[in-house]
Amino acid sequence: MNPFSTLTDLADGLRTRQFSSVELASFYLDRIERLDVEYNSFITVTRDRALTQAAAADTRLRGGNATPLTGLPIAHKDIFCTAGVRTSCGSKMLDGFIAPYDATAVTLLDAAGAVTLGKTNMDEFAMGSSCETSYYGPVRNPWDSARVPGGSSGGSAAALAAGLTPAATGTDTGGSIRQPAAFSGVCGLKPTYGCVSRYGMVAFASSLDQGGPMARTVTDIALLLDAMAGFDTRDSTSAQTGHDGKAAIAASTPARSLRIGLPKEYLSMLTDPALARVFEEARRVFESLGHTLVEVSLPHTAAAVATYYVVASAEASTNLSRFDGVRYGHRCEAPVDLTDLYERSRSEGFGREVKRRILTGTYALSVGYFDAYYLKAQRVRRLIRDDFIAAFGAVDALLTPTTPSTAFPIGQISDPVEMYQQDVFTVPASLAGVPALALPSGYHEGLPVGMQLVGPHFSESRLIALGADFQRATDWHRRTPPALG
């Protein structure tokens, strides 16, 4: 069995009885047990649950009523609530928290027959771009163990890159699916805001959070998206008419000739000449596939990172108020009074980055600062959204780099503002609520380089058609880390 197989190949294997779902799950569970000591990509491994689900999938496969995902293993970011299994969100605060319900995304994937291997490591409360802020220790990049896998969905990205799972879920608030996908050489999709239900996802920034799939190929992303997306009455911000559900079909059909925009503001910020060369080669591939590439402008790009950190921190500061040590989660020892209970439970339960964002966000919402920060950020957010809408009047999609650098060494970036600059290419799409598909575009010094395709609201199938086209013409997505090959 090849641990780096795509979902499509594994589904074939199951269908043709080369192996059973139980054998497949056991194979990955054994690999996790053997190899994850090195990468720390899982917080919780759910062997029993996986084997039970796999046995049920085998019955379903034999009964002939399987869906394309039946019996295929998946790992969930530890931000998705899973009934009866700890959901820590990478925080000491929720170290012992077990939700009595499944997130809608988990419910949908379970219903499609996917087999849950476990819960993946992440930056605490999804706040970070390196997976260094987890209470459970940093995640290591399978391409170079001294480097970060990106974040916050770095556990999912690393598990994919190390061949510990063929599929994973992630969440993306400002780049948390796409940036780790880029650093780890895998694919990830941040769907349109409202496409995948947020119910059961521990909230970071409600107006930005989106769950999405991570996998080895764009075709696999499509399979997962079709299963995860959909209107959910339990999430008031989920779209009634969102994803068309035809991503898998789009992935198997060559994209018609499209106009693809290259935002000049992004390219001028891509200062590393090696990465610029990789991007230029990817651009040529799209041209060779018959697409027209034109320069476009997204004039408010430079304000995106600041805008994002005001909006996201403001929302996070109140979303995290519920973690007060009163009803569940970490509670300090022997509180002397209520204030002491609050202060020590939260001081002990939250890590430094989470505290920083709570303080920043509280400040931005305070009387006297609200207009200058929160309101202004909301206005700029609208301008950024309008930039995208205007651009999509002229082009069908945008092609941009995903990150300004390749994976950096663990511990290298200690200045938070420098860390926030990691998100420069990913936060604009988050603020605009538009979908963005991240996929490998090449390699530099043995490390993966990524690019993203960004489209209008609910154009996931179009982005997937384009991405699948690219992957039919290239083989960057077939590379595996040398240490594991």
Residues with a known catalytic role: 77, 152, 176
Q: What is the DSSP string of 67-106?
A: -TTTT-EEEEETTB-BTTBB--TT-GGGTT-B-SS--HHH
2 binds other proteins (CB under 8 A): no
Cα 398 versus chain centre, distance: 19
Gyration radius of the chain's alpha carbons: 21
Site for other proteins in 344-373 (CB under 8 A): 362, 365-367, 370
* Closest to 397 measured CA to CA, from 457, 337, 318: 457
Say if residues 367 and 107 touch (Cβ distance below 8 Å). Answer: no
| Min separation Cβ 236 and other proteins, Å | 5
443 binds other proteins (CB under 8 A): no
65: Cβ contacts below 8 Å, ≥ 6 apart? none
**CB-nearer residue toward other proteins: 38 or 235:** 235
| Min separation Cβ 43 and other proteins, Å | 15
**207 preceded by cis ω (within 30°)?**
no
| Min separation Cβ 272 and other proteins, Å | 35
Interface pick for other proteins out of 299, 342, 404, 479 (rule CB under 8 A): 342
405: Cβ contacts below 8 Å, ≥ 6 apart? 272, 275, 422
The two beta strands, 447-454 and 73-77, are unpaired
Residue 37 dihedral angles phi and psi, to the nearest 5°: -55, -35
| Min separation Cβ 86 and other proteins, Å | 12
User: Angle, to 10 degrees, between the axis of helix 460-473 and the axis of helix 273-288?
Assistant: 100
**CB-nearer residue toward other proteins: 59 or 207:** 207
480 binds other proteins (CB under 8 A): no
330 binds other proteins (CB under 8 A): no
Per-position x/- string for 181-210, each x denoting binding to other proteins as judged by CB under 8 A, each - no binding: -----------------xxxxxx-xxx---
DSSP conformation class of 394:
T
Options 150-158, 274-282, 319-327, 412-420: segment touching other proteins (CB under 8 A): 319-327
**CB-nearer residue toward other proteins: 124 or 324:** 324
| Min separation Cβ 171 and other proteins, Å | 11
Site for other proteins in 60-119 (CB under 8 A): 80-81, 87, 89, 94, 97, 99-101, 103
Interface pick for other proteins out of 315, 396, 423, 460 (rule CB under 8 A): 315
Other CB atoms within 10 Å distance of the CB of residue 140: 22
Per-residue burial over 420-455, b if 16 or more Cβ lie within 10 Å, else e, is bebbbbbbbbbbbbbbbbbbbbbeeeebbbbbbbbb
| Min separation Cβ 246 and other proteins, Å | 26
Say if residues 82 and 119 touch (Cβ distance below 8 Å). Answer: yes
231 binds other proteins (CB under 8 A): no
327 binds other proteins (CB under 8 A): yes
User: Which residues contact other proteins (rule: CB under 8 A)?
Assistant: 80-81, 87, 89, 94, 97, 99-101, 103, 198-203, 205-207, 233-237, 314-315, 317-318, 321-324, 326-328, 338, 342, 362, 365-367, 370, 374
